[in-house]
Structure 1
Amino acid sequence: MNKLITVSSILLAATAVKAQSPNVIFILADDLGYGDISAFNPESKIHTPNIDNLTHSGISFTDAHSSSALSTPSRYSIITGRYPWRTTMKSGVLNGFSPAMITPDRRTIAQMFSENGYNTACIGKWHLGWDWAYPQNAKNKQDVDFSLPIKNGPTDRGFDYFYGIPASLGTAPHVYVENDKVTALPNRTIGPQKGIKLIRNGVAGADFEPQDCLPNIIRHGIDYINKQRDSKKPFFLYLPITAPHTPVLPAEKYQGQTIIGDYGDFVVMIDDMVQQIVKTLKKNNQLENTIIIFTSDNGCAPYIGVEEMENKGHHPSYIYRGYKNDIYEGGHRIPLIVSWQGKYTNETNGSLVSLTDFYATFAQMVNYQLKDEEAVDSYSIWPILSKKGNSARKDLIYESGKGYLSLRTLQLKLVFHSGSGGWGYPNKPADLAKLPSMQLFNLKEDPSEKKNIISNKRYKKDVDKMTQMIKKYVEEGRSTPGKRSANDTGNSWKQIEIFMQ
């Protein structure tokens, strides 16, 4: 009898601990540059007081990176804790009709949270594919039967609840999906129109208006937070918003708020919506038990009008070279704030961090032991967040839109190709042929990557060591300590043959 009482007491105590675990809200902006946040860029022409306020009760990470300079692969890494080039997708992004990228056997951060006592939700832009239903006579992937449920979407990958859109705001089909069904059947086709540029032609749901997408996502996010107010379980809310990605659609009340035009005004709109979320948490007495993460999936898009913004003194990539899609720092170095009221006070941290790391971080927070095939590229930063140590990460890999890979150490960055690997110069074959086949930058001395030092003999041993290191990470199927894992396309593939020969 005493043994039963003891066991019951232990189980009750464990349940109480889980109930006291902090809520986690992960706000992921879409194509927001490092220099777009005034807390990260003193010369920013966009004033973001509410995002800046997160830094007052937070830790600002100044050397944080997405795993890719593009949306889909970056999001894959957040959800799985795994580098995206290990999958079958070696470059580019998915579209709104693409099948599920996350395979059923691949564990996700949402599953991990759910199995450890959390309610989980994804509200916003998914962009990781799912499986639409098709009639028997379907001739192409656009011939979707929207009346039928989707499969292999967020609610099949660990999230209790989903509300959002399939891919980017400008990408068809233009529909909202709640859990596994569209909220309204398509009844028209929309495309570029007055005031709404850079939106692809496609069917649209009866309840879908592009300019209301961001406010609608925030409304649902706030509604979810309110519903969790009386829950005995903590919650994980993954909130991948649709801005400032094109089409750039600031609401009327935000228009004219900056000197750089609609893009700046759209960022101001994001800033105000961060305030709405914080205000809701305060009202519900949830703020002091909620970790808020604010970051971006990659750098600012060059086609947004960056040349005009730079001419007005605003540099979305701050001092860093390149933009979205590029292997250079502006493509993947992103603002990252981890805010926790009462725990932190305006701290800055220069540790090397990847968005891939949050899987292992929160696993450690809830005392969950990762499985062999789980989060194979994720290093916990919980020692930093709990003020008990540092991250064990000493290097990381990130990729460009074309699939160019780079290995980064604490000081050096080795790119295993020439050129930007994206839309930036140089990327034309004739120009690339004139350049060395690899690039090396000393980011401590040259953070703007102005000088390729690959020919400097002083760094030959470093280049050899880094080449062997990335080869090891590819062949072992992981970059963290553990059992050998398998890449989806084998542990040797064409994008790295240049240095594996």
Structure 2
Amino acid sequence: MNKLITISSALFAVTAVKAQTPNIVFILADDLGYGDISAFNPESKIHTPNIDKLAGHGIAFTDAHASSALSTPSRYSLLTGRYPWRTKLKRGGLNGDSPAMIDPERRTIAQMFSANGYNTACIGKWHLGWDWGYTDNGRSMKDIDFSLPIKNGPTDRGFDYYFGIPASLDISPYVYVENNKATSIPDHVIEPQKKNLALLMHGGMAGADFKPEECFPNIIRHSLNYINEQKGSKKPFFLYLPITAPHTPILPSKEFQGKTSIGPYGDFVVMIDDMVRQIVETLKKNKQLDNTIIVFASDNGCAAYIGVKDMERQGHFPSYIYKGYKSDIYEGGHRIPLIVSWKGKYGKETNNSLVSLIDFYATFAEMLNHNLETEEAVDSYSMWPILSKKGTSTRKDLVHEAGEGYLSLRTSQLKLVFYGGSGGWTYPVKPVDVAKFPPMQLFDIVKDPSEKENIIGDKRYENEVKEMKRTMKKYLEEGRSTPGEKVSNDTENSWNQVKIFMQEEE
């Protein structure tokens, strides 16, 4: 009898937690620095009042990170809840004609939302590969048959609707794809532009309806149209909005040119801020705002090559107090501005928990009472206790990845880099320079957030370093960093960047 009462009580406890189904608008900026947003950087030379208003009705996370300092792997983690270095992509990103990165058998956050009754859409930059149709026996970009449907793209990965471009705005082919078809056949070539890196274009074939300066405005227009279309729906919606700005080429529309004192990059960020205004006003007009969670984030840090040094001379620091930029293992490479806004639920709040874009999968799963399967979101820790104001995240550490694939492990206080250089584009990069430094780096992020002093040889931290090495090895070998059954990585556990400590721990 007592056993039956216990079982009954447990069932009641489970059913008593009611799933919440707010709309989700997830805005992911491209190469936006932590210090570019005035809510995070009081000294920013870019005024972002509309993004700041999101923080006024939301939680601003000050220790939030992308899983990688580059675009493709960062997006992979967001959509799968899994570290990107578990895949075959060990360094760099994908091209516009790269095959699909997400395995068909691996569930995505969009599929999870769809299974829980949501309409789903992705509007913007995909950059996770898909399978183009080719002419007979062709496999190069010149052999793509743009009249054929793509396969293994967004609409095969859980999104009901897609509009956007294959990769970054500077990578060919320059075409729009709607659902699974290109909207036009390429009929002209965009010439390479590499002299002015802020206008960087690698060059290549372009669709008849494609002009680079119109891309971001088209993404904004399609996103607003989608929100309006959902007004009469009985189902909630998940809109994943990976925009193309402020990534190169930096092309603010005419009405935003000259809005800041630091040039086109600042103007482009102001254009993003205005997009946020338009989205919020549309949700408010449709009486959707109070039932919509808006997430604002970036996929990695600001790219140094867009003229960062000139901006810093003018007093604007895109990485704020943090070292490094896009592609680097240092904080400026992957520490991002992150706001979770829900009007009526939050006031202006700040949270310093260690969190990652990778955590949104488990977060929204908990919100929906969705039970994660064994191989689903294996590196994702729920932030829902924070968002529901009922607790904290159980995340104790986080793995970062540099553009060249080198890894680091971060705890609440320490960051252990399993390499002697930046792992990206900031000095030291060349092997001859990296060789001048210790093979690993250790930083006290609490005392030294700017990573000025490498304390790897400090004997006071010997035990912590040993434990962090053991933890990293465990995460590599078990295929997951969350509690659960051991699973497989997509490749053998043979990362060059961690050979040193792997051998030490054997």
The answer (yes or no) to whether the contact 1:79–1:110 under 8 Å persists in 2 is yes
Q: Which runs of 5+ in 2 are unaligned?
A: 1-14
Distance 1:26 1:458 in 2: 42
Residue 379 (structure 1) aligns with? 381
Distance 1:106 1:51 in 2: 33
Q: CA deviation at 1:201?
A: 1.3
Residue 12 (structure 2) aligns with? none
Distance 1:266 1:354 in 2: 25
Percent same amino acid among aligned pairs?
A: 72
Q: CA deviation at 1:491?
A: 3.5
Q: How does 1:389-468 map to 2 (within 5 A)?
A: 389-468=391-470
TM-score normalised by L of structure 1? 0.95
Please list the CA deviations of residues 207-265 of structure 1 after superposition, one character each: whole Å capped at 9, or x if unmatched. Answer: 11100101100100010000000100000000000000000000111111111100000
Q: CA deviation at 1:106?
A: 0.7
The answer (yes or no) to whether the contact 1:63–1:333 under 8 Å persists in 2 is yes
Q: Which amino acid aligns with 1:98?
A: S
Residue 9 (structure 1) aligns with? none
1:226 to 209, 212, 228: 228
Residue 336 (structure 2) aligns with? 334
Residue 296 (structure 1) aligns with? 298
Distance 2:123 2:91 in 1: 26
Please list the CA deviations of residues 169-223 of structure 1 after superposition, one character each: whole Å capped at 9, or x if unmatched. Answer: 0100000000100011111111246998311211111111100101100100010
Please list the CA deviations of residues 97-146 of structure 1 after superposition, one character each: whole Å capped at 9, or x if unmatched. Answer: 00000010111000000000100000000000000011114262432000
Residue 43 (structure 1) aligns with? 43
Residue 482 (structure 1) aligns with? 484
Distance 2:52 2:213 in 1: 25
Number of residues of Structure 1 aligned to a counterpart in Structure 2: 485
Q: How does 1:27-426 map to 2 (within 5 A)?
A: 27-138=27-138, 140-192=140-192, 197-426=199-428
Q: Considering only aligned residues, what root-mean-square deviation do their CA atoms show, in Å?
A: 1.3
Distance 1:192 1:436 in 2: 39
Distance 1:433 1:208 in 2: 46
Q: Which amino acid aligns with 2:149?
A: P
The secondary structure found in structure 2 opposite 1:142 is: helix
The answer (yes or no) to whether the contact 1:120–1:159 under 8 Å persists in 2 is yes
Please list the CA deviations of residues 277-324 of structure 1 after superposition, one character each: whole Å capped at 9, or x if unmatched. Answer: 000000000000000000000000000000000000000000000000
Q: Which amino acid aligns with 1:382?
A: W
Distance 1:54 1:375 in 2: 27
Distance 2:332 2:289 in 1: 32
Distance 1:413 1:201 in 2: 39
Q: Which amino acid aligns with 1:58?
A: G
The answer (yes or no) to whether the contact 2:418–2:497 under 8 Å persists in 1 is no
Distance 2:261 2:199 in 1: 20
Relative to structure 1, the CA distance from residue 395 to residue 435 in structure 2 (aligned partners, 3 Å threshold; closer, same or farther) is same
Residue 9 (structure 2) aligns with? none
Q: Structure 1 residue 21 and structure 2 residue 24: aligned?
A: no
The answer (yes or no) to whether the contact 1:439–1:452 under 8 Å persists in 2 is yes
Distance 1:454 1:440 in 2: 5
Distance 1:37 1:170 in 2: 24
The secondary structure found in structure 1 opposite 2:143 is: coil
Q: Which amino acid aligns with 1:293?
A: V
The answer (yes or no) to whether the contact 2:192–2:204 under 8 Å persists in 1 is no
Q: Which runs of 5+ in 1 are unaligned?
A: 1-13
Distance 1:471 1:294 in 2: 33
The answer (yes or no) to whether the contact 1:475–1:492 under 8 Å persists in 2 is no
TM-score normalised by L of structure 2? 0.94
Distance 2:167 2:42 in 1: 33
